[in-house]
Chains A and B, each alone.
Chain A
């Protein structure tokens, strides 16, 4: 099973870190990235990911 992951964090370095990490796990596919909560909500509405990693 593959799950689509939306990565939402204001720190680009942390987003890059998570993206790099997730790229090693076949069952997780990147769905998109958001730099803040508002963008995350917008992307969830549009992309309907399975999982959101929400930095705060």
Chain B
């Protein structure tokens, strides 16, 4: 952030109000940023372009607040699509009940069932198969970071 280092703010926030949880959402998630984030007092580290596993990895190593945990889980269960046998990027924004059609419109899916490994799956009339495997919001079509060149 221009007026204050994004990693300095969590320290100050915690100093003012230790009961407030802070989730860091860095645009860059290289090792240097990750180490710097570890040194901050953030409750979780969730790169904007990362899968949720990055954040969960951080959570496993630290005691995360209930607020932060709940937030991260609320982003959970983002599915992946399988088109003609090829697993592609997720096309839905959150939950097994929200999907994007290829034209970007949203539909509500019904008829969940358990698939291999206990994952929720739903057959799609258009041939899409969806499994709730990857929790992350960053692959949403809404994300502005695709436009900014962040993968």
- Whether chain B is bound by chain A comes out as yes
Query: Is the pair A49, B4 in contact by a Cβ cutoff of 8 Å?
Result: no
With a cutoff of 8 Å between Cβ atoms, the chain B residues found around residue A9 in the complex are: 25
Query: Is the pair A36, B16 in contact by a Cβ cutoff of 8 Å?
Result: no
A30 within 8 A of B: no
A33-56 interface with B by 8 A CB criterion: 36-41, 44-45, 48-56
Query: Is the pair B9, A8 in contact by a Cβ cutoff of 8 Å?
Result: yes
Query: Is the pair A36, B24 in contact by a Cβ cutoff of 8 Å?
Result: no
With a cutoff of 8 Å between Cβ atoms, the chain B residues found around residue A38 in the complex are: 1, 3-4, 9
Closest to B74 in A: A25
Consensus secondary structure, chain A interface: mixed
Q: When the two chains form the complex, which single residue of B1, B93, B142 contacts A37, counting CB atoms closer than 8 Å? A: B1
Closest to B4 in A: A37
Interface residue tally of chain A, by bracket? 20 to 34
Closest to B138 in A: A17
Q: How many residues of B contact A (CB 8 A)?
A: 41
Query: Is the pair A50, B20 in contact by a Cβ cutoff of 8 Å?
Result: yes
Q: When the two chains form the complex, which single residue of B7, B12, B142 contacts A56, counting CB atoms closer than 8 Å? A: B7
Query: Is the pair B67, A41 in contact by a Cβ cutoff of 8 Å?
Result: no
With a cutoff of 8 Å between Cβ atoms, the chain B residues found around residue A13 in the complex are: 144
B71 within 8 A of A: yes
Chain B residues with a Cβ under 8 A of chain A: 1-10, 12-13, 16-17, 19-27, 33, 42, 48, 65, 67-68, 70-71, 74-75, 93-94, 137, 140, 142-145
User: Could you jot down 12 A-B contacts, CB within 8 Å?
Assistant: A20-B142, A36-B1, A37-B9, A40-B13, A44-B13, A49-B20, A51-B65, A51-B68, A53-B25, A54-B6, A54-B24, A55-B48
Known: A37-B5, A54-B25. 13 other contacts (CB 8 A): A3-B70, A5-B71, A8-B1, A11-B144, A21-B93, A21-B142, A28-B74, A37-B6, A40-B13, A41-B9, A41-B16, A48-B20, A51-B71
